[in-house]
Amino acid sequence: MRSVWNGTIRLGLANIPVKAYGATEERGTGLHHVHVTDGGRVRHRRVCEVDGEEVDLSELARGYVLPGGETVVLTDDDLSGLPLSTSRAMDVQAFAQVEEIDPIYFARTYHLEPDPAGVKAYVLLAEALRRSGRVAVVKIALRQRESLGVVRVRDQVLVLETMLWPEEVRTPDFPFLYQDVEVSEREIRDATELVEGLSEKFTPAHYSDGYRVALRALVQSKIDGNEMVQPAAETQREGAADLLSALRTTLADKRMPRQRVEEARAAEAAAEKAKETARKAARKSRETTKS
């Protein structure tokens, strides 16, 4: 895997050389835009609005549009020449408790690998963060923008979480925020007890992507030429009473996430078995026809 950033964690006079690698990957659905009449792939071309010509990647630049409509063109050389000290160093600004940082500010996650010459300093920083229970607040220039970030410990590895700037987080402006909504202490107590009753340790492996399972079944159904089953629409209910009722029903008939995952996997295995049976039947039918 290629690193997305090479530089140092700069803490006072100390410099810890590291490389940053993407820590997550989104698994897409595998769907593409196609022409509905013949299934041909639809390509999106880069076309200049001035001359109507397709633009090669080598001719792309960035543009800053002025209020009057004029455009200031900025090339990669212009951008790479910006005098940012954080382009090759994560400057530690402070140390903080992670609970003090609202997760809404977190953007992307990167694993930090130490350079062989800086392993001891890397491990020392990781252990100091672990024992103090704090994270390092840093500034870093990554992907042509400077971001805030935090460096924390995950297992034995330092992890960089890039963050949004305060002005990039929207403030909600919903009508109910200006209303005087009354809920009784009894309703709050009942809801709290039901929430506590449904609480359990969060284990990511207990959950599965139901959409991906359903999508694979849909694609296989298209391949096999079978009828597609439409799911029944769920009735949406509103109100505090309905919320409490729903929580009670869920608590009374609680199924652990692991059970739901096992059921989803069992359904997928059954679909695979049915698919194999259908293929065998199709082959047998073709052989019978030939004979």
pLDDT in tens, 48-103: 988 999 999 889 888 999 999 899 998 888 877 776 767 788 999 999 999 999 99
Residue 155 has pLDDT above 80, yes or no: yes
Q: How is residue 165 written in tokens?
A: 């700037």
Topology of the domain covering 5-24+81-168: Ku70; Chain: A; Domain 2 (2.40.290)
User: Which of 199 and 253 is assigned the larger pLDDT?
Assistant: 199
Q: Which of 20-34, 54-68, 92-106, 208-222 has the highest mean pLDDT?
A: 92-106
Which pTM does this prediction carry? Answer: 0.70
For residues 227-243, give the mean pLDDT.
57
What is the C-alpha end-to-end distance of the chain, expressed in Å? 54
Confidence of residue 287 (pLDDT cuts 50, 70, 90): low
Q: Which residues contact 31 (CB under 8 A, 6 or more apart)?
A: 215
pLDDT at 37: 84
Residue 34 has pLDDT above 70, yes or no: yes
For residues 119-131, give the mean pLDDT.
96
Helix (H, G, I), strand (E, B) or coil at 275: helix
Domain locations in the chain as residue ranges: 5-24+81-168, 175-230+238-290
d(CA 123, CA 202): 28
- Mode of pairing for the β-strands spanning 157-163 and 106-114: antiparallel
Residue 120 has pLDDT above 80, yes or no: yes
Average of per-residue pLDDT values in the chain: 83
CB atoms under 10 Å from CB of 142, counted, come to 20
d(CA 22, CA 5): 10
pLDDT at 229: 47
Which of these ranges, 61-70, 209-218, 265-274, has the smallest mean pLDDT?
Answer: 265-274
Helix (H, G, I), strand (E, B) or coil at 180: coil
